[in-house]
Structure 1
Amino acid sequence: MEIFEVAYAPPRSSDEFVLCIGKFDGVHIGHQAVIRTARQYAGSGQLGVISLWPHPRWTLQRDPDYQRALTPVREKRRLLEQYGVDRLYEIDFTEEYAKTSPEIFVLEHLAGLNLKRVVVGDGFNFGKGVHSTTDELVELCSRIGVPVTVVPPVTVNERVVSSSDIRCHVKAGRVEAAQALLGRPYTLTGEVVHGAGLGRKLGFPTANLGGIDDFVLPAPGVYEGIAEIHSVKATDNTYWYTLISAGYRPTVNGTSYEVEAYLIDFDGDLYGKDLSVSFLRRARDEIQFTTTEALIEQMRVDEQLARDRFGLHKS
């Protein structure tokens, strides 16, 4: 996938392609419907996406709920490429860029691209003040000879799938509900860093995940999931059923939010490796135990329950 980091206007293009436009935070099942529709129009040709980062509600309002993302830049790139996008235009959404009018966006920025068609989701807003509608997009694009397709929203239980709802689910620990709307498990990707080594001392060596400050973080608790250990070649990646501890570790007087993964039956050195942990099920709340022994006993129970659910048996 070709990536363009855009400060203002995308570079002009002579190659014809179909373009999707949106924030695409989460790349959820609604976003995937837009991408699939665009791919149908593109056929064997090129498919492009214009996306924004940071989220406009962080840039313009400093809304703390939007400082983090369901899919920060590196994760969004990986997913969009996986879903068949050939070129990605990443708009650096600054306060200055937010002043761009709908007319400039379409008649100058999009006009510089050789577009076969534009595809957006229903409810798409664009341009200064984000008051412009899909109807205006259709009218403006008609001036540059580009047809627009508006994809109907995807609903679950008659509620439109939205990144906002998924954020709420993740932050509340409802990772099963988040998975239903994302079309895949909610996943954090980071680098394994050195921690205090307490897990190893307790008999449960864990991988401490660093570099996840840009992600929306799940509610404190213990989760069952799967971990992907990244290699230089993606075909060499390996996967392990995993217990994930997310939270503040109150039993050992922890003060900062940490994500630690116990890869069941794994034996090896993970330090410095990239690791993705996917949250499949919330097993329990984070608990403050009165003794270390009580914590160890609960960890044994957690592991056995996970083994039973995953069909794993100790050798």
Structure 2
Amino acid sequence: MWITSSLTTALTPASVALGNFDGIHQGHRQVMQPILSPSLRRQPLSVPPLTGDSYGENSPPNPKTSLDDAEETSLEPYPTVVTFNPHPQEFFSGQRRTLLTPLSEKVKYLEAIGVQQLILLPFDQDLANMTPEAFVEEILVGQLNAQQISVGQDFCFGRQRSGTVTELKAIAARYGVKVHLVPLQTTNGDRISSSAIRAALLEGNLPQANSILGRPYSLMGEVVQGKQIGRTLGFPTANLQLPPEKFLPRHGVYAVRVYGASSRCEQKGAIGALNIGTRPTVDEIATPTVEVHLLDWSGDLYGKTLTLHLEHFLRPQQKFDSLDQLTAQIQTDCDSARTLLNAIE
């Protein structure tokens, strides 16, 4: 997939899905469906969970440097997602925003759907000041040669979010560009949204979060050197270094499937017990750690990139009166994880 933050290097013509798309949840995938090739539009909108550590190649899917104008205009438009970097809320507030899907994850999910190009528009004061008319005319039509545009029905754009989907359709119609307005999606009567996913994750409500996502929530990071406290208790753990902007769910213990440990367990993943928290019993710290103990598995994991699929929330973080109590609870957690994960194999 071609990834660029410069409109001068964008592949054109483009079929454009517009939005922030943090999470690539079921609602986002509905917005993207109209821009995909006809064969992909007929496929289910589910995407596979992340496995392993391979990311997309940042190279054009079909370079056109040798094509003349007549040949170029006959090409099918590139399925393109246009989003903003940083998130507009982060730009205006000055506060770092955590993400359900940092860039490396977002790329994998978009590729699985069939998106060929991701454009990360730099969100700065100039873009913030741009009128809705200028955004459509200069960027979508002028720079991207958009053949069609897809947005959610609540999409707003332009200076002070003054542009509505009705205005988008009217401006685009002047240039013969069709706009798809995708209705808001719901599950069990509740609106599908990134905010709802975040709220469910903070409660430890994995069934709700994973249902909205349409896949297990995932954590992806490189195994780095830790304090090896788990090893001294008889439960060696892999300490994961996640992207600093990654959104963390409720602190506590989870049953997870682990990918990236070895080729022999890539199909269905190794099983493990994950702890997210500040180690209150041993040496409480300010920044939470993400540590996973792989069950029925041994080997060197340092330097590997692991992907964890969060399947069950076992219990919240708690402080124990002694290391013996902690050790006994860890054993109970591992037994619970093994029972739950083996039951659904």
Query: TM-score with structure 2 length normalisation?
Result: 0.82
Partner of residue 104 from structure 1, selected from 134, 143, 146: 134
CA distance in 1, matches of 2:146, 2:186: 29
Unpaired runs of 5+ residues, structure 2, are: 42-75
| Cα distance, 1:308–1:118 mapped onto 2, change above 3 Å | same
Counterpart of 1:120 in structure 2 is: 151
Please state how far the C-alpha of 1:43 moved relative to its aligned partner.
6.6
Counterpart of 1:266 in structure 2 is: 297
The one-character-per-residue Cα deviations of 1:147-181 (angstroms, maximum 9, x if unpaired) are 10111111123332111111112222222211111
Residue 106 of structure 2 corresponds to residue 58 of structure 1: no
Quick check: 2:132–2:162 contact (8 Å CA) kept in 1? no
The one-character-per-residue Cα deviations of 1:64-106 (angstroms, maximum 9, x if unpaired) are 6xx1111112211111111110111111223342222211111
CA distance in 2, matches of 1:211, 1:307: 25
Counterpart of 1:37 in structure 2 is: 34
Residue 32 of structure 2 corresponds to residue 2 of structure 1: no
Counterpart of 1:71 in structure 2 is: 101
| Local SS of the residue matching 1:188 | strand
Please state how far the C-alpha of 1:219 moved relative to its aligned partner.
1.1
Residue 228 of structure 2 corresponds to residue 197 of structure 1: yes
* Letter of the structure 1 residue corresponding to residue 221 of structure 2: G
CA distance in 1, matches of 2:251, 2:151: 36
Percent identical pairs in the alignment equals 35
Please state how far the C-alpha of 1:262 moved relative to its aligned partner.
1.0
**Alignment RMSD:** 2.3
CA distance in 2, matches of 1:138, 1:201: 63
Pairs aligned (count): 305
Quick check: 2:223–2:305 contact (8 Å CA) kept in 1? yes
Residues 145-294 of structure 1 aligned to structure 2 (within 5 Å): 145-229=176-260, 239-255=269-285, 256-294=287-325
| Cα distance, 1:223–1:43 mapped onto 2, change above 3 Å | closer
CA distance in 1, matches of 2:268, 2:222: 15
* Letter of the structure 2 residue corresponding to residue 117 of structure 1: Q
CA distance in 1, matches of 2:115, 2:269: 25
Quick check: 1:166–1:181 contact (8 Å CA) kept in 2? yes
* Letter of the structure 1 residue corresponding to residue 257 of structure 2: I
Quick check: 1:192–1:209 contact (8 Å CA) kept in 2? yes
Query: TM-score with structure 1 length normalisation?
Result: 0.90
Residue 117 of structure 2 corresponds to residue 87 of structure 1: yes
Please state how far the C-alpha of 1:236 moved relative to its aligned partner.
7.0
| Local SS of the residue matching 1:252 | coil
* Letter of the structure 2 residue corresponding to residue 136 of structure 1: E
| Local SS of the residue matching 1:11 | helix
| Local SS of the residue matching 2:244 | coil
Counterpart of 1:143 in structure 2 is: 174
| Local SS of the residue matching 1:145 | coil
Counterpart of 2:22 in structure 1 is: 25
